[in-house]
């Protein structure tokens, strides 16, 4: 109701301004827009992995977390730094393993060691390239985070092996 009222008020003003487009100043309901929930395509052609297919509301029910650390526990430190480092690591790996990163990156922190595990698609990669990129990523991230970084990756034959669902 409120929405309509303000809409008409603006509409009447817009006549004065000689514009045909109305603007709404009330907050939109956004009931169909949710974070982490992909939209269905008309012919159900969008391929989703298990991680993408399960909505965030099902975390700890049907899927686990992607970051494992103790920073958010009571009286623990570095919550913000840890979150930012995870963001940085994910950005870096997405670019470094361009078009070959088949899954999300799992970041586990054991003591001061950062363990990264993810799946690499071997469609465009040679084993020696994988070994190089693994060492490269470990070295670069260890230098930036000032913590030993270990990459425990696994390979999949192609990206299509990751498909769980089509929507």
Partner 1 sequence: MASVSVRKTFVVLNSRARDIKFIQQRALHMSLSLKGQDIKSIENDKETSSDTDEFRVYQIEGLKRTSSVRRAERWSKRVPPPRYRSMSTEQDWTDVWPTASTFKWSAVPFPVRQGYVENSSENEGVIPSKYANLELMKGPNFLHLTPAHVQKHCKAIKHFCTKWPEGLETDEQCQKHFPVESVTSDYIYAGPSLTDDRARVASIKFKLSDLKLDYHARDKFVRLVGDRYNPETDDVFFESNRCPLKSQNLEYVKFLLTAVYFESWKNESWEQGKQLSDMETYVWNHNKSHKTCMSLLASIQAKDKTTEGELGKLNYLPENEVDTSVICGLPEVQQYKVAVETLFNVGENMETLNAYKMAVEKLLNFKSDV
Burial 100-114 (b: 16+ CB within 10 A, else e): bbbbebbbbbeeeeb
Least distance between partner 1 and beta carbon 156 (Å): 5
Closer of 18 and 112 to partner 1 (Cβ): 112
Q: What is the CA radius of gyration of the chain?
A: 23
Alpha carbon distance, N-terminus to C-terminus of the chain: 35
Task: Name which of 10 and 125 has its Cβ closer to partner 1.
Answer: 125
Closest to partner 1 by CB, 104 or 138:
104
DSSP 2: H
CB of residue 30 to partner 1, shortest distance in Å: 25
Q: Are 104 and 113 in contact (CB under 8 A)?
A: no
Task: List the one residue out of 72, 135, 74 whose CA is nearest residue 109.
Answer: 72
Q: How far is the CB of 31 from partner 1 (least distance, A)?
A: 22
In the bound state with partner 1, the residue whose beta carbon lies nearer, of 3 and 135, is 135
Q: How far is the CB of 80 from partner 1 (least distance, A)?
A: 12
Could you tell me the strand order of the sheet in which 67-68 lies? 67-68, 106-110, 113-117, 149-151
Greatest C-alpha distance within the chain: 69
Q: Which is nearer to partner 1, 8 or 123 (CB)?
A: 123
Residues that bind partner 1 (CB under 8 A): 49-51, 53-54, 62-66, 68-71, 76-78, 81-82, 102-104, 106, 108-112, 114-115, 117, 119, 122, 126-128, 145-147, 152, 154-157, 161-162, 164-166
Record the tokens describing residue 142, joined without a space: 């260890």
Report, in Å, the least distance between residue 57 CB and partner 1.
13
């Amino acid at each position: 109701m409120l929405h309509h009222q303000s809409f008409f008020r603006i509409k009447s003003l817009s006549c004065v301004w000689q514009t045909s487009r109305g603007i709404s100043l009330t907050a939109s309901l956004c009931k169909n827009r949710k974070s982490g929930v992909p939209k269905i395509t008309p012919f159900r052609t969008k391929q989703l992995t298990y991680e993408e297919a399960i909505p965030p509301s099902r975390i700890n029910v049907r899927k686990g977390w992607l970051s494992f650390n103790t920073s958010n526990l009571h009286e623990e430190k570095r919550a913000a730094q840890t979150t930012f480092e995870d963001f940085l690591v994910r950005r870096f790996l997405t670019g470094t393993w361009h078009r070959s990163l088949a899954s999300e990156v799992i970041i586990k922190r054991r003591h001061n060691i950062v363990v990264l595990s993810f799946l690499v698609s071997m469609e465009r990669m040679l084993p020696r390239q994988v070994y190089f990129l693994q060492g490269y990523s470990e070295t670069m991230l260890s230098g930036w985070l000032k913590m030993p970084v270990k990459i425990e990756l696994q390979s999949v034959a192609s990206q299509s092996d990751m498909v769980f669902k089509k929507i």
